[in-house]
């Protein structure tokens, strides 16, 4: 078994993490001791103090018992013009606050204002922090300059760099990826002669057991009975590996991702590692659809029977999704979800492939063997002849031109997303609003989370039947919002259709060079479209990359990444055979089973365990053990030939 070089891809994606740096300042006496035993990972203590209310500063102008200093704060994670929130107040009776616990994953901006202090000017200060630290925000009056200065005094106790555990983990994986092939090579070379000797002995025994009047080849000209009249199915291993990788990362993310923010879904705009896997699975589902439908058509399966299978599979997926949503409380049963998104994307894409006909000039999918005529025509009449140009264009776009009616239907669904999003009137919200609401935009649109997307979901499913704790809630202080909402189905169907395009390339072009070159072009084109729509900016472009909204920008970008990863997998696994896909290929053979099982059993030991005071290292260890358990389960299912298909 060859070790996965895909670890390198993981390390590339991990460039998303940031280093956390804190500055050191002067000394200050802490009068209120914090309790560090209750701090968890990504937490630190911040105290706020001032000397303005000391007795020796009574000569400060307008200083009186009613004087008050307000401290406001906002997290750097809240990046959409968020308003400041009150942190604490300082006055005569409270010149130093108790230590406050804050999150260190992102930096903070602080704003200091005052009342009944005419000389005091509002100031702002920003700082990044480290976990387990102890910091002081000092508001200091200088007698010599008669000015107030604000500073954050660095931690008075040792802090920890939160990225060390994840670096150690991936260093171990990288070391395993390097050493395992070397050990395997040594094993093969050491036992090579012994294996050859055993094979020779087996061949001699088989020859001695053959009847004298029977040919050694079995009488079938070198073709075994199992292979007569049939061709061995060439399964695309890279597709299983890609699918298994997506599900494995999805499990790791759902278990907590070691508590790292970049292994959790983005709060609103932007992209994290966790945002990749769900759309990739839909993309992969689209890749496989041309193969399954084409296979059934070649066997002579009636179209009505194919439609029946598509509908049944979609219903099974949707029902599984409802089951996983836990409808014990029917009054708050969430209707939509991940598997429901799979189901409807699969259903609508299947309907497009079945019932939207090819261009009338093509009764069947093009056969590129006819392209060999181009060479003769090129010699006889020149490359510029009409026949040559026609054959050339058909060869270059054989996976695109015949299917343009289906593309029109897919693009019309995408266009409908634009129409609803930017033209639908949402009460109390600006037209075309794409923000998270809450405290973003200075709190002007607090009840407009997602704009038209949330409005449509509430109208269809009501408030009680959508997701109540979206990822944007803890940062932007929003209400309910469903990231698998109705409008997102339009763009996810289009993403599935982009996967269909990748599958058609495999189905039509038999040359690896032709496949790879087209995937590269698609990857560049789709990523370029995404870059144009978002303006290469997280928040300032026309349509940002947003997983919660499933914006077209998000779909184009993830499809572009999907084409690129598929190309890499195809080269490594299917062409060069540098990696057999283990262990992800086993998950890829039972993806829905492993996904549903981890959702149902994920809270049980040893799949997960919790600590009284967790750290990144322990949380990461727990999540890795859980993922490893499911990899072992998938491998055992493979060994016992258990493949559960819906």
- Is 385 strand, coil or helix? coil
Which H helix or E strand runs over 101?
strand 100-103
CB atoms closer than 10 angstroms to residue 360: 8
Displacement of CA 92 from its chain's centroid (Å): 51
CB atoms closer than 10 angstroms to residue 508: 20
Q: Are 139 and 50 in contact (CB under 8 A)?
A: yes
Q: Which residues contact 216 (CB under 8 A, 6 or more apart)?
A: 207, 210
Phi-psi region of 612 (alpha: psi -120 to 50; beta: other; left: phi over 0): alpha
- Is 47 strand, coil or helix? strand
CB atoms closer than 10 angstroms to residue 244: 25
Q: What is the rounded CA–CA span in Å between residue 96 and residue 48?
A: 6
DSSP 94: B
Q: What is the rounded CA–CA span in Å between residue 108 and residue 517?
A: 46
Token pair of 601 as six digits: 């059993």
Q: Are 526 and 560 in contact (CB under 8 A)?
A: yes
Per the residue annotation, which of 57, 265, 378, 394 is the catalytic one? 265
Q: Quickly tell me which residue has 């493979």 as its tokens.
A: 638
Residue 148 has φ and ψ, to the nearest 5°, of -100, 130
Strand 134-142 and strand 123-127: pairing? Answer: unpaired
Q: Are 275 and 611 in contact (CB under 8 A)?
A: no
Q: Which of 404, 376, 373 has the alpha carbon at shortest distance from 391? A: 373
Q: What is the rounded CA–CA span in Å between residue 317 and residue 340?
A: 6
Token pair of 568 as six digits: 């890499």
Q: Which of 637, 562, 585 has the alpha carbon at shortest distance from 240? A: 585
Q: Which of 64, 209, 235, 203 has the alpha carbon at shortest distance from 589? A: 235
Strand 43-50 and strand 100-103: pairing? Answer: antiparallel
Please give the C-alpha separations between residue 482 and each of 269, 317, 338, 423, in angstroms, as whole numbers: 15, 19, 11, 20
425 tagged catalytic: no
Q: What is the rounded CA–CA span in Å between residue 63 and residue 65?
A: 7
Q: Write the burial class of residue 371 (CB in 10 Å: 0-12 exposed, 13-18 middle, 19+ buried).
A: middle
Q: Prior bond to 97 cis, omega within 30?
A: no
Q: Are 566 and 519 in contact (CB under 8 A)?
A: yes
Q: Are 448 and 429 in contact (CB under 8 A)?
A: yes
Strand ranges across the sheet with 123-127: 85-90, 68-75, 108-115, 123-127
Q: Which residues contact 13 (CB under 8 A, 6 or more apart)?
A: 273, 276
Token pair of 350 as six digits: 């299947």
- Can you name the residues that pair with 127 across neighbouring β-strands? 108
Beta strands in 119-175 (DSSP E): 123-127, 134-142, 147-153
Q: Are 555 and 279 in contact (CB under 8 A)?
A: yes
| Residue numbers annotated as active site | 265
């Amino acid at each position: 078994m060859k070790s996965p070089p895909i670890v390198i891809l993981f390390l590339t994606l991990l460039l998303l993490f940031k280093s956390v740096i804190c500055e050191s300042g002067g000394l200050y006496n802490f009068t209120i001791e914090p309790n560090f035993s209750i701090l968890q990972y990504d937490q630190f203590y911040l105290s706020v103090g001032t000397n303005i209310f000391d007795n020796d500063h009574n000569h400060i102008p307008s200083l009186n018992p009613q004087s008050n200093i307000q401290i406001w704060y906002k997290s750097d994670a809240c990046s959409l013009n968020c308003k400041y929130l009150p942190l604490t107040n300082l006055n005569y009776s409270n010149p130093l606050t108790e230590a406050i616990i804050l999150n260190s994953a992102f930096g903070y901006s602080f704003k200091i204002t005052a009342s009944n202090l005419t000389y005091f000017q509002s100031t702002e200060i920003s700082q990044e922090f480290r976990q387990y630290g102890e910091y002081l925000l000092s508001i200091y009056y200088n007698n010599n300059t008669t000015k107030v200065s604000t500073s954050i005094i660095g931690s008075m106790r040792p802090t920890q760099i939160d990225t060390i555990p994840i670096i150690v983990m991936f260093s171990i994986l990288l070391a395993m990826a390097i050493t395992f092939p070397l050990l395997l090579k040594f094993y093969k070379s050491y036992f090579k002669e012994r294996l050859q000797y055993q094979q020779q002995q087996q061949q001699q025994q088989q020859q001695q057991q053959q009847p004298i009047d029977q040919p050694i080849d079995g009488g079938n000209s070198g073709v075994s009975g199992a292979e007569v009249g049939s061709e061995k199915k060439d399964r695309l291993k890279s597709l299983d590996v890609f699918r298994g990788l997506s599900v494995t990362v999805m499990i790791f993310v759902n278990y907590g991702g070691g508590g790292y923010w970049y292994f959790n879904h983005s709060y609103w705009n932007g992209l994290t590692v966790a945002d990749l896997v769900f759309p990739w699975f839909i993309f992969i589902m689209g890749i496989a659809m041309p193969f399954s439908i084409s296979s059934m058509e070649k066997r002579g399966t009636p179209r009505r029977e194919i439609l029946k299978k598509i509908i049944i599979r979609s219903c099974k997926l949707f029902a599984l999704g409802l089951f996983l949503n836990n409808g014990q409380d029917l009054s708050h049963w969430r209707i939509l979800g991940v598997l429901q998104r799979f189901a409807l994307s699969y259903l609508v894409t299947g309907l497009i492939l079945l019932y939207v006909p090819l261009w009338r000039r093509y009764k069947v999918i093009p056969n590129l063997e006819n392209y060999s005529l181009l060479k003769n025509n090129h010699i006889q009449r020149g490359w510029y002849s009409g026949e040559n140009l026609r054959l050339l264009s058909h060869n270059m776009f054989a996976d695109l031109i015949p299917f343009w009616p289906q593309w029109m239907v897919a693009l019309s669904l995408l266009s409908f997303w634009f129409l609803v999003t930017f033209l639908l009137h949402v009460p109390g919200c600006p037209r075309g609003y794409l923000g998270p609401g809450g405290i973003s935009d200075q709190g002007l649109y607090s009840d407009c989370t997602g704009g038209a997307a949330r409005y449509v979901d509430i109208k269809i499913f009501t408030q009680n039947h959508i997701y109540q704790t979206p990822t944007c809630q803890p940062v932007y202080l929003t209400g309910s919002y469903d990231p698998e909402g109705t409008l997102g189905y339009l763009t996810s169907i289009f993403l599935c259709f982009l996967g269909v395009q990748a599958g058609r390339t495999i189905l039509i072009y038999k040359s690896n060079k032709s496949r790879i070159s087209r995937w590269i072009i698609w990857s560049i084109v789709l990523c370029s479209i995404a870059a144009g729509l978002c303006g290469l900016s997280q928040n300032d472009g026309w349509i940002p990359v947003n997983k919660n909204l499933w914006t077209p920008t998000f779909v184009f970008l993830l499809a572009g990444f999907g084409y690129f990863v598929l190309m890499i997998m195809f080269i490594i696994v299917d062409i060069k055979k540098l990696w057999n896909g283990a262990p992800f290929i086993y998950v890829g053979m039972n993806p829905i089973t492993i996904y549903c099982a981890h959702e149902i059993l994920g809270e049980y030991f040893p799949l997960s365990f919790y600590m009284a005071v967790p750290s990144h290292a322990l949380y990461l260890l727990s999540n890795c053990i859980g993922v490893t358990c499911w990899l072992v389960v998938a491998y055992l299912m493979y060994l016992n030939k258990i493949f559960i298909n819906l």
